A and B are shown apart, each in its own frame.
Chain A
């Protein structure tokens, strides 16, 4: 049965989950709804190309399907899905022993509002303006735990609660990591010859 975008649009997340459990075709609604954001996230966090990210996302969605009855409506569905996708991405790249070695992320489309905030914060510590491309490079140089929170906060524009649910860490730890990540970026920006 083909589920059209129009039918999917009329369903809330909870309704789509309930329908999917009755009729698997409705699962496509969840995929359609979250694919763009999740695909972008996989690419940003892993640095793999589009095809690689799609493979990871497909595997993650199979896991989402298998565990659909474990979803607790107390949490946002998006956070729960991000979590599974995040774990799948990290796990896939760990198996390939190449996690964090990819530096080929296409950041061109990524200029959300919160990123400008981060840019202004880093700029404030420096003499001159910092380009988005330069900032992206520095973010890639952060260690994984800091890069994750920066990506989720400034690129996915998620709040602390959602980041806490995705990474399965307390909200206080999210705040601490963000703070340290900002300081690390500022330090890089104010260094005499920041790495480019």
Chain B
């Protein structure tokens, strides 16, 4: 009996059967599903990063007392950047172990995984899902500070010249603003600059740069929409400055 025959006899004696085809198909599908899932997670993380970047007022960073980098880092969603990195690594790993995945170079693996996450994430961001997801996450996770919360903190420093809130009433010389802690402010906007898209109407959320003139009075030098939310659809009661 030659070695080949011995091998066959051994297979027969030990009753070794080839694994069924469905086993390998399932394995392959599991890998591709794993890849799709990690790309999807990466896309969600990327969409929230886009949302955060949209919310960061880069002009503001120049005025912050801390350094530009420090300010940027305090505003950047590091948790989401970490999440995106992890999802990217996992998607690269799953793609590497997919059928013929070893043919991809490191740059291909990074490129395909990142491109898919970026594409899907951008679509999700444009559709408005990122804001909803971020809000839902902030509600459910106590330790997580949402983008809005961070932003509100920055725009609650009237002594430093930053104030944000909701317009409660408007007169030709001043309007009343309720800040995020519910405090009422009288805002002098006689010298303020604001873009035509802003509607100074009750209910509108805005942010102001200027100077605190008394305990509850603030003189605005510029007014900007709060951003990240739909603007109030009502007709303007006043015309912006030319």
CB distance from A22 to the nearest CB of B (A): 11
Given contacts A65-B18, A66-B18, A68-B18, contact A28 B103 (CB under 8 A): no
In the complex, chain A residues whose CB is within 8 Å of the CB of B103: 164, 170-171
Given contacts A62-B16, A170-B103, contact A70 B24 (CB under 8 A): yes
| Contact of A66 with B16 in the complex, beta carbons under 8 Å | yes
Residue of B at shortest CB range from A1? B8
| Contact of B102 with A65 in the complex, beta carbons under 8 Å | no
In the complex, chain B residues whose CB is within 8 Å of the CB of A28: 4-5, 7-8
Is B12's CB within 8 Å of the partner chain A?
yes
Give the number of chain A interface residues (Cβ < 8 Å): 29
| Contact of A27 with B11 in the complex, beta carbons under 8 Å | yes
Please provide the chain B residues from 18 to 51 with a CB less than 8 Å away from any CB of chain A in the complex.
18-21, 23-24
CB distance from B111 to the nearest CB of A (A): 13
Residue of A at shortest CB range from B97? A168
Given contacts A168-B102, A170-B105, A171-B103, contact A65 B4 (CB under 8 A): no
Q: How far is the CA of A72 from the CA of B99 in the complex (A)?
A: 9
| Contact of B105 with A69 in the complex, beta carbons under 8 Å | no
The 8 Å CB contact of B7, one of A58, A68, A72, A169, is: A58
Given contacts A24-B12, A170-B104, contact A69 B5 (CB under 8 A): no
Given contacts A164-B103, A168-B102, A173-B105, contact A67 B19 (CB under 8 A): yes
Q: Which residue numbers of A lie inside 8 Å of B, CB to CB?
A: 2, 21, 24-25, 27-29, 31-32, 35, 54, 58, 61-62, 65-70, 72, 74, 164, 168-173
15 additional contacts (CB under 8 A) given A27-B11, A67-B18: A24-B11, A28-B5, A28-B7, A29-B4, A35-B3, A58-B3, A58-B7, A65-B18, A68-B18, A69-B19, A69-B20, A70-B24, A72-B99, A74-B100, A164-B102
